[in-house]
Amino acid sequence: MDEAKLQTVAQVKAFLDERTEVTFRVAKEGRYGLIERVLKRHGYARHERTDKGVLRRYLERMTGLSRQQVTRLVRQYYKAGKVS
């Protein structure tokens, strides 16, 4: 699956609502890049709280990181404009 095809939060939510479990994960080296791309593409800061939760759950599933780790990286993105 090409993650760039998910252009709207509604598409991301539909992807998460599917019962199929993702059998692939992003390589460890590509996790931060994926997180940055998703946050930029969807304009994370301008969304409401519920949509932000959908995007965080999507990042958790795609990267294999915990909720706390994703939250920390999103906060880092807010402060520095990048994830490192």
Domain spans in the chain, listed from the N-terminal domain onward: 3-80
- Give residue-wise pLDDT tens across range 1-40: 566 678 888 888 888 888 666 656 778 888 999 999 999 9
Counting other chains too, the contacts that 5-8 makes at CB distance below 8 Å and 24 or more residues apart are 6/58, 7/41, 8/42
Ordered alpha helix ranges (H), 1-84: 9-17, 31-41, 49-63, 67-80
CA dihedral (17, 41, 65, 47) positive or negative: negative
pTM higher than 0.85, yes or no? no
Maximum distance among all Cα pairs of the chain, rounded to whole angstroms: 35
